[in-house]
Amino acid sequence: MSDPYAKIDLGGIAKGYIADQVKNYLVEEGIEHAYINLGGNILTLGGKTDGSNFRIGIQKPFAEDGTVMAVLPVSDKSIVSSGNYERYFKKDGKIYHHILDPSTGYPIENNLNQVTIISDKSVDGGDALSTTCYALGLDEGLKLIRSMDNIEAVFITDDNTIYKSSDSVDLITDIDN
């Protein structure tokens, strides 16, 4: 039975797929160093031309000026973030954001502001996984990430506490904006 109002939205994985395809194209063309930014989805090819890592900023949630609260130094990695602070509105002091609980239809409430996934490919690890981990919440999201190979994550709670999925996550928090 077909529902004329039902739609498939690939927004949760489309940017990751496109980022991976752009990276593949650049590799085929002999490019060794690149920074691909598709708004929330970042993919790096190699490191910088001087041999250093790219430095990817993690935005402080709800900071109106785009303040960076931490930096991930990476090369050959995908960085994908999902959170409640980019697309939202406030009514009567309550925030209504775009990541919805399918059982209620209302925004998920779990004390998280953001999840950032660090993986080798954007579509495989980052795109849907960042939203999934956000929906699962801190404890279950960390449990999921720790059960996976070659995937790391940074979780930011509503009091701006940072949690890393493991000690191997290189995260710089002592930064000047």
Domains contained in the chain, number: 1
Per the domain annotation, does 5 fall within a domain? no
Per the domain annotation, does 3 fall within a domain? no
Per the domain annotation, does 171 fall within a domain? no
Does pTM surpass 0.85? yes
Per the domain annotation, does 61 fall within a domain? yes
Per the domain annotation, does 75 fall within a domain? yes
In DSSP notation, 139-177 reads: HHHHHHHHTSTT-EEEEEETT--EEESSTT---B-----
Per the domain annotation, does 142 fall within a domain? yes
Per the domain annotation, does 87 fall within a domain? yes
Contact 107, 97 (CB under 8 A): yes
| Ramachandran area for residue 134 (φ above 0: left; ψ -120 to 50: alpha; else beta) | alpha
Per the domain annotation, does 108 fall within a domain? yes
Contact 115, 155 (CB under 8 A): yes
The pLDDT assigned to 76 comes to: 95
The pLDDT assigned to 2 comes to: 73
| Enclosing domain of residue 92 | 11-164
Angle among Cα 158, 160, 162 to the nearest 5 degrees reads 115
CATH number of the CATH domain containing 146:
3.10.520.10
Digits of tens for pLDDT over the chain (177 positions)? 577 776 666 666 678 888 899 999 999 999 999 999 987 789 999 999 999 999 999 999 888 888 999 999 999 999 998 888 877 788 888 888 888 888 888 999 999 999 999 999 887 667 689 989 999 999 999 999 999 999 999 999 999 999 999 999 999 988 765
